[in-house]
Structure 1
Amino acid sequence: MTSSVLGEAEPEDWAEPEDWVLARSGDPAAFGVFFKAYRKRVLWQAMRSVDSFHDAEDIAALVFLETWRRRDSVRIVNGSIVPWLLVTTNNVARNFSRTRRRHRQAMESLPAPRHQDDFAPTVNDRLDGEPRRAAVRAAFARLSAKEQDVVSLCIVQGMQLADTAAALGVPVGTVKSRLSRAKSKLVDLTVDLVDSTSLAGGVQ
């Protein structure tokens, strides 16, 4: 089901930034076309931060809601809205994860219920049993917010350093240093996590 959803065709009649001007003006139909054009890209980005496709869908919905709400202040880089969408996805995913952690902590503070078998770990292992993919996602989560943004734009999106700097509003030198740090961390973390996954049976 996941592959069919992520593989849906993107509209061929979307052109940046002309069509975005119409969507930004508040035209619901134009924004609907915009949503269809970028939903898959946002979903893939969200999946790098969470291990559940349903969570990724929730994050994507929040990203487009935020895009609609802040449409007058969206930053276009070289005629593309993609960099802004990816950075916004990272921000929403971080907030989403924090909210989940708080909820989990609140639930853990409640009196323990009578024991019942929990099948969730088994289901998660079956859905995400590939150790390296899980390790890369876990390693990405351990990067700082600023490092996640440069990785998303430079490595995942393949943007030039100058365009990434423009999207983030920082000097090119800052992007270079963040990217260098992030690459080093990802190499170390991925190796460590893959090793521990092989021993423990999966990244939790």
Structure 2
Amino acid sequence: SKQSYLESVKTLIVTLEERDSYTREHSLNVLRYSAMVAKVMGLAENEIALIGNAAILHDLGKIVISDQILCKKDKLTEDEYALIKKHPLIAVRILKKSNYMKRELQIILYHHERYDGKGYPVGLKGKKIPLGARIIAVCDSYDAMRSARPYREALPINRVISELVDNAGSQFDPEVVDAFLRGLANNELLPAEVDIKDVMQKIKTKIEAEEDV
């Protein structure tokens, strides 16, 4: 069954987490944020579950990348970065042996695509990127910026929200950023120093700019 298949794949994730504690927290956070965004966007329960499965597995491809690279404190070399960029393809290679994960595979494969078409692995653009992948892209980036990494401290929430808003329309789908911020506000996850009205106005302007194109 799909459930038992998912359980067995999750044991692979546990293996990855044992090597890199960031991944464990990160996969769960991306799952929570993705489900939150999908709900704000009014998606059906089965779609929310599908995106949740993809969120848990989105970094599975890193299982074949050495600790030396995964936990490196210095800047990655070009070759190391090229290897990291293969992780969506590696995840698909691992998971495609099963018929259970066909739709999740599309989301996992494209979660590093950019809204402006400058992402990887294939350079899909705009709404051609599956919605689940556009959602995970925002949640993945938010959690990565909010987490301490071997090479930098966690970034403050104001700075992270500015990054999301500034990159809406280029890196991220502005409608997804809008839903993400509304989800944070609804769940009281935004501290008082974030001027939510100002932030939402900026996002609204970006969405309107999209519609005018």
Q: TM-score under structure 1 normalisation? A: 0.33
Asked which structure has the greater CA Rg, the reply is 1
Q: TM-score under structure 2 normalisation? A: 0.32
> Which has more helix, going by share of residues?
1
